[in-house]
Amino acid sequence: MNYLTISQPAEASFIEKKSEFIGYIAPVKNSDEAVEFINKIKAMHRKARHNVYAYIVRQDNISRYSDDGEPQGTAGVPVLDVLQKRGLTDVCIVVTRYFGGILLGGGGLVRAYSHAAALACDAAKVMDMRLCHRLQITADYGMYGKISYILPNFSTITESLDFGSDVTLEILVLSEKLESLTKELTEVTNGAVMIKDLCELYGDFSSVIKNN
């Protein structure tokens, strides 16, 4: 159920034997968004020899690629392979090539397109999306210390904190830790806490998981 994606578009480039390769990467939710991104990059680089692409989306479990005029299997497939090996989804990569006049050969093209795709991935912020619940926790000020001490033990993410007449927090907790966290909060506060499950969603736990 968990998946890796990226937070926002990024790009990177390099030159190989006078050919410039520019890798563009963007988050997309479906094929329509992927095609829109591909067309946007193509419009930016109408004079480029090739605009190779690959994308993977969770919706309908779709993956597509195009060599865009390069020899079959030397461009789109290597780009798609980079996405698959990194476990990225809901992502589209376009690699633009400005031909420098020197042929790279089949192996050289595979390496160049793979490298451009990898550089684009490296330039992006990867998000570790996990199924979680958004909880609203309300308690009096005397309980706040106990609550704030417990939360890090359950890899939670605090989204908001309001000091009003009571202390109200909104947090994200992994679905598999929801029951144990709720039980722990109830026990340490002797039931003097209000816990409201607002919704189930996917949240980015990359910083929490990395630190743990």
Residue 92 has phi, psi (to 5 degrees) of -125, 135
Among residues 12, 2, 4, 7, which one has the least CA distance to residue 122? 12
Structure tokens at 149: 């001490």
Residues 31 and 114 in one domain: yes
Residues 137 and 203 in one domain: yes
* pLDDT for the residue numbered 135: 96
Torsion of CA 41, 43, 47, 52, to 10 degrees: 40
Which of 61, 95, 124 corresponds to the end of one domain?
124
Residues 112 and 15 in one domain: yes
Which of 107, 124, 141 corresponds to the end of one domain?
124
The Cα 137–Cα 170 span in angstroms is: 6
Which secondary-structure segment (H or E) carries 5?
strand 3-6
Which 3 state secondary structure label does DSSP give 166?
coil
Contact 195, 185 (CB under 8 A): yes
Residues 144 and 106 in one domain: no
Among residues 181, 164, 163, which one has the least CA distance to residue 172? 181
Which of 58, 89, 124 corresponds to the end of one domain?
124
Residues 59 and 31 in one domain: yes
Contact 204, 128 (CB under 8 A): yes
CATH number, residue 190: 3.30.70.240
Among residues 1, 3, 87, 93, which one has the least CA distance to residue 41? 93
* pLDDT for the residue numbered 210: 64
Residues 172 and 107 in one domain: no
Pairing of strands 167-174, 157-163: antiparallel
The Cα 179–Cα 56 span in angstroms is: 33
CATH number, residue 27: 3.30.230.30
Domain span at residue 32 reads: 3-124
Q: What residue type is 78 in one-letter code?
A: P
Residues 106 and 87 in one domain: yes
* pLDDT for the residue numbered 212: 54
Residues 97 and 18 in one domain: yes
Residues 201 and 150 in one domain: yes
Q: How many domains does the chain have?
A: 2
Q: What is the pLDDT along the chain (212 residues), one digit of tens a residue?
A: 799 999 999 999 999 999 999 999 999 999 999 999 999 999 999 999 999 999 999 999 999 999 999 999 999 999 999 999 999 999 999 999 999 888 888 999 999 999 999 999 999 999 999 999 999 999 998 888 899 999 999 999 999 999 988 999 999 999 999 999 999 999 999 988 999 999 999 999 998 876 55
Residues 96 and 183 in one domain: no
Residues 110 and 163 in one domain: no
